[in-house]
Structure 1
Amino acid sequence: MTDHPRPDPIQADSDAHSEHHRIPEPEIRHPNPAGVRRVAVLTSGGDAPGMNAAIRAVVRTGAQQGIEVVGVRRGFSGLHRGEFRLLGPRDVANTLQRGGTLLLTARSRTWRTPEGRAEGAAHLREWGVDGLIVIGGDGSFHGGYALQEEHDIPVIGVPGTIDNDLYGTDHTIGYFTAVETALGAVDKLRDTGASHERIFVIEVMGRHAGHIALDVAVAGGAEEVFIPEDAKPVGTVVDIVRQSVSKGKLGSIIIVAEGYPGGAQGVADAIAQGTGLETRVSILGHIQRGGSPVSSDRILASRLGEAAVYALMDGKRGVMVGRTSGLFTYTPLPETWQKSKDVSHDLYRCAKTLSI
């Protein structure tokens, strides 16, 4: 009798069920009904961690789709001066983890004039650009939308701002990293505050929105948080600090968004005058904009950069790509600054509940 090799049960099972376990190949080619052949990308306004990941996504998605990508240096300032260069996949290698923006950013008074925007439009036409992707906040979207309305150049916005204050997306690029940066500082200051039995009033970014302040307050165990959306009397903090001291707390952390009337200094003055306790103010400032982006910002920026290219290919214009409840959304640019994005009232309640 001839021996026949027995099948490897693991291999046999793998073969039998391979269709159930195989990950389907992604669809790389995207329809291009708009006939897009070349797009431009710029970053504008305040820099935000993850902007480089978005630029990288735009460039590499373009390369996959046979679309050339033109990088515009120094935002709208460089656009009206014609500071352009073609970008390929290797030009954005090793940029995913870098903070800031490799394209640089700048404010531009000239772009606020019709003449400045006309110069920029002329440069885009000279380079044969079919659409412009603007990575930035509401001011940047104002500039891009004006260009589209006056010169009929399609513009797609990608939300890049640490403040997380743009309507039409759950989160903006840079927000997650800014929260982590601020939280790291709060943790260190709490150690010092407890050692010296001091009260630290810490100001985080957020001129018009308290998203960063709320997240940091909950994650950092703050005793109180002040945000622009709730201009409660600054004197309310006095009773809270007194209660903390009566409960034996060695130090207290108060979080203030920069847009709260009076800012951190106003809150600190109220505490000092109302309790006589030693109080210190720490303004974190622009440190929240720097540093390597955390994974959530890298992923969000990569998804939105890819989606922005697809939006132009689909013929969309004058919209911001966002992610809401896990789905891509396309919000008309004017709505991103005309409609208000409220803070989470549940999170605000949670901050108060857990501050005892």
Structure 2
Amino acid sequence: MKKIAVLTSGGDSPGMNAAIRAVVRKGIYSGLEVYGVYQGYAGLMEGNLKKLDLGSVGDIIHRGGTILYSARSEEFKKDESQAKAIEHLRHLGIEGLVVIGGDGSYRGAAKLTEKGFPCVCLPGTIDNDIAGTDYTIGFDTALNTVISSIDKIRDTATSHDRAFIIEVMGRHAGDIALFSGLAVGAESIIIPERPFEIEDIVQKLHKGIERGKKHSIIVLAEGVCTGNELSKLLVDQYQIETHVSVLGHMQRGGSPTGLDRILASRLGARAVELLVEGKSGRAIGMQKQEIVDHSINRILNQKDPLSEGVYTLSQQLSI
């Protein structure tokens, strides 16, 4: 193998740049030419590739987002679009592709692999919803961003003697809400993986008031409902007024934490090693501090389980 390429796809996550840097520098160290694909799979279909050198990835390890940019592409789901992408890669003599992204990115890589083009995937998503790895690239940074924001909101909640609903990202996975809720001592944590009873939330709010609490924090994953919908329910049925804060895309931004930089660097370097070893269709992750790899299809067919111990502890400590 002489040439490889790297792309980022789907939602950006802090640490993607560190992963790109690791792929490029490990590739060059291994005697390879490395190309960057701009604008994800959409750019791959258009042949938007550029050869990268050491300087191309200089001074990016601390930056959020992705220097290769990212895009979602419905068009890439078509067989003819995938064939076109492979044609662009082979025209440049590229023999392997590193894909950094989430579930949709993995599915695109699986399709390319099925068509005979070697791909290796890295889990780049703040949602921490990819199986086969304890943590995804960007999760730790997003978690710390949410914790910092809630700590600031708590000051206002205390001053105004109010309950606050904090809506965080997580359409299908509640890890951001769960871990941040535990870290900030939230009274209630509402996630897609577990049904919730509005009466339980109300009971906790009343118990807090009875023992003299000046504020309450409810952390809500967006996949359950919106913060405004939950607030309206509390007002209409129980006459409990709350303030709503939607953290939104600020959770995706910011300089990656040390943990995300190290994780991204280790996974990116391993991706190059797998391609050089002739391995394809692999999804790389970290489990129990060890770098592992699994079949992409196995990861796509495996549900990432909820951290039951963390969930149970959050319920025990929020009494």
TM-score computed with the length of structure 1 as normaliser: 0.88
Q: What amino acid maps onto 2:60 in structure 1?
A: T
2:228 equivalent to 1:265 = yes
Deviation, 1:120, is: 0.6
| CA contact 1:58–1:308 (8 Å) conserved in 2 | yes
For 1:157-176, what aligned pairs fall within 5 Å after superposition?
A: 157-176=121-140
2:159 equivalent to 1:195 = yes
Q: What amino acid maps onto 1:68 in structure 2?
A: E
Deviation, 1:111, is: 1.0
| CA contact 2:13–2:125 (8 Å) conserved in 1 | yes
Q: Deviations over 1:2-41 (max 9, x none)?
A: xxxxxxxxxxxxxxxxxxxxxxxxxxxxxxxxxx211010
Deviation, 1:331, is: 1.5
Deviation, 1:246, is: 0.8
| CA contact 1:237–1:271 (8 Å) conserved in 2 | no
Structure 1 alignment gaps of length 5 or more: 1-35
2:24 equivalent to 1:63 = no
Question: CA separation in 2, counterparts of 1:219 and 1:107?
Answer: 32
Partner residue, 2:99 = 134
Q: Deviations over 1:240-282 (max 9, x none)?
A: 111111111111000011112x332333223223442320111
| CA contact 2:231–2:241 (8 Å) conserved in 1 | no
Q: What amino acid maps onto 1:223 in structure 2?
A: E
* CA spacing shift, 1:274–1:162, aligned 2, 3 Å: same
Question: CA separation in 1, counterparts of 2:107 and 2:185?
Answer: 37
Q: Deviations over 1:95-134 (max 9, x none)?
A: 0000000000011122111111111110000011111000
Q: Give the percent of matched residue pairs that are identical in Structure 1 and Structure 2.
A: 46
Q: Deviations over 1:51-97 (max 9, x none)?
A: 00000000000111101101000000000100011101111000000
Question: CA separation in 2, counterparts of 1:266 and 1:335?
Answer: 37
* CA spacing shift, 1:266–1:335, aligned 2, 3 Å: farther
Match of 2:166, SS state, is strand
Question: CA separation in 2, counterparts of 1:265 and 1:234?
Answer: 14
Partner residue, 1:246 = 210
Deviation, 1:319, is: 1.1
Aligned residue among 66, 73, 94 for 1:101: 66
Question: CA separation in 2, counterparts of 1:212 and 1:204?
Answer: 7
Match of 2:198, SS state, is coil
Partner residue, 1:210 = 174
For 1:66-85, what aligned pairs fall within 5 Å after superposition?
A: 66-85=31-50
2:255 equivalent to 1:292 = yes
Question: CA separation in 2, counterparts of 1:338 and 1:231?
Answer: 23
Aligned residue among 250, 268, 272 for 1:309: 272
Deviation, 1:337, is: 2.4
Question: CA separation in 2, counterparts of 1:226 and 1:248?
Answer: 24
Q: What amino acid maps onto 1:246 in structure 2?
A: E
Structure 2 alignment gaps of length 5 or more: none
Aligned residue among 317, 321, 324 for 2:284: 321
Q: What amino acid maps onto 1:96 in structure 2?
A: I
Partner residue, 1:335 = 298
Question: CA separation in 1, counterparts of 2:318 and 2:2?
Answer: 55
Match of 1:286, SS state, is helix
Question: CA separation in 1, counterparts of 2:267 and 2:310?
Answer: 26
Question: CA separation in 1, counterparts of 2:300 and 2:215?
Answer: 39
Larger radius of gyration: 1
The number of residues matched between the two structures is: 319
* CA spacing shift, 1:163–1:104, aligned 2, 3 Å: same
Question: CA separation in 2, counterparts of 1:71 and 1:185?
Answer: 34
Cα RMSD between the aligned structures?
1.1
Match of 1:45, SS state, is coil
Question: CA separation in 2, counterparts of 1:273 and 1:242?
Answer: 16
Question: CA separation in 2, counterparts of 1:316 and 1:85?
Answer: 24
TM-score computed with the length of structure 2 as normaliser: 0.97
